Amino acid sequence: NAGVMQNPRHLVRRRGQEARLRCSPMKGHSHVYWYRQLPEEGLKFMVYLQKENIIDESGMPKERFSAEFPKEGPSILRIQQVVRGDSAAYFCASSPRRGDEQFFGPGTRLTVL
């Protein structure tokens, strides 16, 4: 069984560009979570999605950030007009049911120049 897959693993963008981060959950998992982690800091919740629905986006910045989990295909975290402060590791996790253990992907390390 493949685990949670994220791509790209590393992404470099210049200020003002768009960043698209992809997450394919484990087979059979319909719950996806996105987290951001700054160096030497803990994981900060961003958004929780279940197929085609955003369940909780209380951790998402109000502007420039959006997320989706379409019926077919991976979940996408999109950051428009990136700024240096967006540089971080972005982790995706999936679970088969709400409240179950979460399985994390390897993360995407975003660097904004």
The residues that touch other proteins, with contacts defined as CB under 8 A, are: 4, 33, 35, 41-45, 48, 55-56, 58-59, 91, 93, 98-99, 101-107
> What is the DSSP code string of 13-32?
E-TT--EEEEEEPPTT--EE
Is the bond preceding 8 in cis, omega lying within 30 degrees of 0?
yes
Which CB, 85 or 99, lies closer to other proteins? 99
Taking the complex as a whole, how short is the minimal distance between the CB of residue 16 and other proteins, in angstroms? 28
Query: Residue 79 or 105: which CB sits closer to other proteins?
Result: 105
Shortest distance in whole angstroms from residue 24 CB to other proteins: 14
Greatest pairwise CA separation for the chain in angstroms:
38
Cα 48 to Cα 59: distance, rounded to the nearest angstrom? 9
Cα distances (Å, whole numbers) of residue 89 to 7, 36, 100 = 12, 6, 23
Shortest distance in whole angstroms from residue 57 CB to other proteins: 10
CB closer to other proteins, 72 vs 101: 101
